[in-house]
Structure 1
Amino acid sequence: MTDTQWGAGVKLGSIYWKRNLAVSLVGSFTTIVAMTLLLPFLPLYVEELGVTEHTAIVQWSGVAYGATFLAAALVAPLWGRLGDIYGRKLMLVRASLGMTLAISLMGMAGDVWQLVALRLFVGLAGGYSSGSMVLVATQTPKDRSAWALGVLSSGIMAGNLVGPLIGGALPPIIGIRGTFLAAGGMIFFAFLATTLLIKEEKSPDRRQAAKASGGWKSIADRRPVIAMLATGMLLMLANMSIEPIITVYVAEIVPIEAQVTMISGLVMSAAALGSILSASWLGRLADRIGHWPVIAGALAVAGLLLIPQAFVTSSWQLILLRFLMGAALGGLLPCIAAVIRHSVPYSAAGSILGLSVSSQYVGQVAGPVLGGFVGGHISMRAVFLGTSLLLVAGAAYAWAIRPRDTETSNMRASADQLDA
């Protein structure tokens, strides 16, 4: 399938795809940093807003943190659909401006209800990184799409890694409220760069095609899309299932109590670092050998790496295995986006990729809940082994339903006809 067959939106977009990727990369990194930097001081800020009981502080911190992801999961398909109709750049401009206002206002909150409301607003108005995935997936030439999405995924994961570090360093210097204002200012620069530098084709015909496409109904073969929705959920579930038990698990294998929190942080960061380093390489590999072998292989390798994690006897073994697991999973996000893009008509790409984002948020919420339940009621080893079983089953499913060469040609031909 040539770039021309992708639809009119890509022909002009391909001229600017490198600049669009660079701006999207910087914008996604800064917005993710701003969203995650509050993690180290969120309980302190909740207490500053008038909550005094220890139990209430923990509960309100959880509500405030989860509110953003809940709201984002609900509206991601809507923003994707509106991006199909009115343009993907407009969605990035909207998201960056909305997040600038909401995060800046968090620094002026007067009580915990206002903080939760603003966290909800960030989720409702945000979606810059997911919108960037849609823009890059639809504007990049086909033979570079997985690599470009891998680069963008690296920036998103780097933001998740750097955000808490900045959140731990800035408040002692400029205060908690000042940190929120600084984060809002950082996103404002992303808003300016997005508005002034990203170029996207204006196509009235494309808008009419998006309105008429019917989103899900326009997909000729839905099996690959359903598989990618499940894969996105599995990816986040696998990454997050260990989070509730990690400190307790590390305490069992680390003899010095004072080192537990530091090593727990290293274990949490190791998977993210592995993904950052591998995402663009695995994306390039997928462009060369195909997305499906990389998806199935990554799920299988990550699933197998979870088994020895259940039986480690020292912290360095767990850190190394989490790093390797993160490296294996690093190529999944770009491959998921690329498969969806090549399985649906251009005019429905945003809405379906929005559904993919929602499925990932489901995994992000379900992972800690299931991990905490299994770890508390069965055993911590069962968390690793159960997640391993899910990933291996996901690999087998992805390999079993992968389109064969003839099916792939027919699927792309159907998408091309709807793009035209």
Structure 2
Amino acid sequence: MSPHSQPDGHEPHWRRNLIVCLFGSFTTLVAMTLMLPFLPLYVQQLGVEGQASIARWSGVAYGATFLSAGLVAPLWGRMGDRYGRKLMLVRASLGMAVTMALMGCATTIWQLVGLRLIAGLAGGYSSGATIMVAAQAPRNRSAWALGLLASGVMAGNLAGPLIGGILPTLIGIRMTFLGAGCLIFVAFLATVLLVRETPRQSTTGVRIRAGWADIPDKSLVLTTLGTGVLLMVATMSIEPIITLYIRTLITDPARVTFTAGLVMSAAALGSILSASPLGRLADRAGHGAVITGALAVAGILLVPQAFVTAGWQLIGLRFLMGLSLGGLLPCLSALIRHNVPDHSVGSVMGYAISAQYGGQVVGPLIGGFAAGQMGMRAVFLGTSVLLLLGAVCNWRVLRLSPPPP
């Protein structure tokens, strides 16, 4: 069915906007994640001494952006509802371009951490792009469009560290930050020149405050927000122990980090490949069915991961898990889009993004604590139980929910 035949008030320029958002999200994520391989080296250059202190400050500097971004995501979503979503993308790309370039000029660790905090406050391009695509795409194509955007985001997360492992040896760390700022500035120019948005009528503050009251099925929206948190907790709880777990499977110490990288990349690659196809399936078969099925399959796949005996087994299982979870966030976003009034989409999506950031913070803490107290296998099995409970909860709520208007 052609999306033009759906009189659902979608933005006429949604396809071009999707392409720009895809490009902008990919480039900004590349720029933001390419520092991962050399961040500890830069922290050391800024005067931090001792391996423990370098590791601690590297974690603080990297996590600062996610902390501040999670706090302001609902605000930017609400501002986008009121003043236009293109403006939010322009603000985010320009703010990130400037702060990223300034990171290359830092002379103390406090300046770096402060700039990372500002990057989170001022940035959020991929989050804004998700809100724009969710609000503008036709409802019968929303999960597909969001899946395509999610593939670009995950590809940026995957390509960034690879590029960051090469550039500093060629041009130096400080010039790499400057290059990242220039890359984001290209996304800024593309957004300014190419994104089109139908002029919005001013929305009164009363109507925005009444947005939650206008949602017909609050339990469904709350379940969707909770599922986003659960997904991030389940994903990030495994990340801190991957390398340690690989060490128990491989006798050659030189292969541990390489295999751990393959394990992490396998899950990301699976998600990149499946996000758009699962989104297309959800548009046809229903978002709830895909969400429930993805959680159930991922929960089942976690059980054998706790009992693997070789690295290649874990690589294969993580790839399959990435395939199963790739379309989950796009489907959650599409479900919000279908069940929230247009004037409140940005606000609710902002809360969803903020909740996901919270899951990214809590997940590693839970995983690290559980591994230390009960062993690494307990992390896989406990995460499996969480995902299966999430599948049951979604099935019950979605079964009782009326169809969206």
Range of TM-score over shorter length = over 0.9
Q: Deviations over 1:338-393 (max 9, x none)?
A: 00011110000001000000111111111111111111111100000000000000
Counterpart of 2:266 (choices 267, 270, 277) is 270
The letter of the residue matching 1:259 is R
Partner residue in 1 for 2:148: 151
Structure 1 residue aligned with 2:173: 176
- The answer as to whether partners of 1:209 and 1:347 remain within 8 angstroms in 2 is no
Partner SS state of residue 203, structure 2: helix
How many angstroms apart in 1 are the aligned matches of 2:174 and 2:198? Answer: 40
**Residue from 29, 43, 46 that aligns with 1:46:** 43
In structure 1, how many angstroms separate the alpha carbons of the residues matched to 2:180 and 2:200?
35
* C-alpha RMSD of matched pairs (Å): 1.4
Q: Are positions 1:336 and 2:336 aligned together?
A: no
2:207 to 212, 225, 232: 212
Paired residues of 1:85 and 1:211 also in contact (CA < 8 A): no
Instruction: Provide the C-alpha distance between the structure 1 equivalents of 2:279 and 2:216, rounded to a whole number of angstroms.
Output: 25
| 1:131 alignment counterpart | 128
Amino acid across the alignment from 2:94 = L
The residue aligned with 1:104 is 101
Residues in 1 aligned to 2:306 and 2:146: alpha-carbon distance in whole angstroms? 32
CA distance in structure 1 between the aligned counterparts of 2:44 and 2:256, rounded to whole angstroms: 25
Cα contact 1:210–1:348 (8 A) shared by 2: no
Partner of 1:85: 82
1:223 to 213, 216, 219: 219
Does the Cα contact within 8 Å between 2:89 and 2:125 map onto a contact in 1?
A: yes
Distance across 2 between alignment mates of 1:209 and 1:346 = 14
| Deviation of the 1:404 alpha carbon | 5.1
- What's the CA shift for 1:256? 1.3
* Residue number in structure 2 paired with 1:316: 312
Percent identity of paired positions between Structure 1 and Structure 2 = 62
Cα deviation for residue 210 of structure 1 reads 6.8
Partners of 2:318 and 2:205 lie apart in 1 by 42
Alignment of 1:368-387 (within 5 A): 368-387=364-383
Note if contact 1:375-1:383 (Cα within 8 Å) is conserved in structure 2: yes
| Cα distance in 2, alignment partners of residues 44 and 376 from structure 1 | 28
**What's the offset of the Cα at 1:208?**
1.8
Which residue of structure 2 lines up, in the alignment, with residue 246 of structure 1? 242
CA–CA separation in structure 1 for the residues paired with 2:155 and 2:148: 11
The correspondence of residues 328-407 of structure 1 with structure 2, limited to 5 A, is 328-402=324-398, 407=402
Alignment partners' CA distance in 1, 2:140 and 2:340: 17
Amino acid corresponding to residue 303 of structure 1 in structure 2? G
d(CA) in 2 for partners of 1:44 and 1:208? 48
- 1:94 and 2:91 equivalent? yes
SS in 1 for 2:260: helix
Q: Output the amino acid matched with 2:347.
A: S
**CA displacement 1:53-74 (0-9 Å, x = unmatched):** 2221111111101100000110
Cα distance in structure 1, aligned partners of 2:357 and 2:138 = 28
Give me the whole-angstrom Cα distance separating, in 2, the residues matched to 1:56 and 1:144: 48
Which of 298, 301, 313 is 1:302 aligned to? 298
Secondary structure of 1:241's counterpart equals: helix
Q: What is the alpha-carbon distance in structure 2 between the residues aligned to residue 83 and residue 177 of structure 1?
A: 34
Q: Give the AA of the match of 2:337.
A: R
2:124 is aligned with what amino acid? G
CA shift digits 1:86-109 (9 cap, x unpaired): 001000000000000000000000
1:163 aligns with 2:198: no
Asked if structure 2 preserves the Cα contact closer than 8 Å seen for 1:210 and 1:347, the reply is: no
Distance 1:120 1:233 in 2: 22
Deviation at 1:231, TM superposition (A): 1.0
Contact 2:83–2:200 (CA under 8 A) maintained in structure 1: no
Displacement of 1:403: 5.1
Partner of residue 415, structure 1? none
Aligned to 2:289: 293
Tell me, yes or no, if structure 1 residue 67 matches structure 2 residue 64: yes
Q: After superposition, give the CA deviation of every residue in 1:272-301 in whole Å (9 maximum; x if it has no partner).
A: 100000000000000000000000000000
Q: In 2, are the aligned partners of 1:30 and 1:187 still within 8 Å (CA)?
A: yes
- Distance (whole Å) between structure 2 residues aligned to residue 122 and residue 225 of structure 1: 29
Q: Which amino acid aligns with 2:120?
A: G
**1:211: Cα distance to partner?**
5.5
Cα distance in 2 for residues equivalent to 1:180 and 1:211: 43
Is the CA contact 1:251–1:257 (under 8 Å) kept in the aligned structure 2? Answer: yes
Tell me, yes or no, if the aligned pair for 1:67 and 1:120 is still in contact at 8 Å: yes
AA aligned to 1:255 is T
> Can you give the 5+ residue segments of structure 1 that lack an aligned partner in the other structure?
413-420
Give TM-score, length-normalised by structure 1: 0.93
Task: Note the alpha carbon deviations across 1:219-239, whole angstroms, 9 max, x for none.
Answer: 222111111111111111121
TM-score (norm 2): 0.97
